[in-house]
Amino acid sequence: GVRYHHVSTDEVYGDLALDDPAKFTEETPYHPSSPYSSTKASSDMLVRAWTRTYGLRTTISNCSNNYGPYQHVEKFIPRQITNIVDGVRPKLYGRGENVRDWIHTEDHSSAVWDILTKGRTGETYLIG
Active-site annotation holds for 11: yes
Catalytic residue among 4, 26, 36, 101: 36
SS3 at position 91:
coil
Four-CA torsion 19, 25, 31, 32, nearest 10 degrees: 90
Amino acid identity of residue 10, one-letter, is D
Catalytic residue among 11, 13, 44, 125: 11
Active-site annotation holds for 54: no
122 Cα distance to chain centroid: 18
Catalytic residue among 10, 13, 44, 125: 10
Active-site annotation holds for 10: yes
Cβ atoms 86, 124 nearer than 8 A: no
The DSSP line for 42-64 is HHHHHHHHHHHHH---EEEEEE-
Q: Which residues are designated catalytic?
A: 10-11, 36
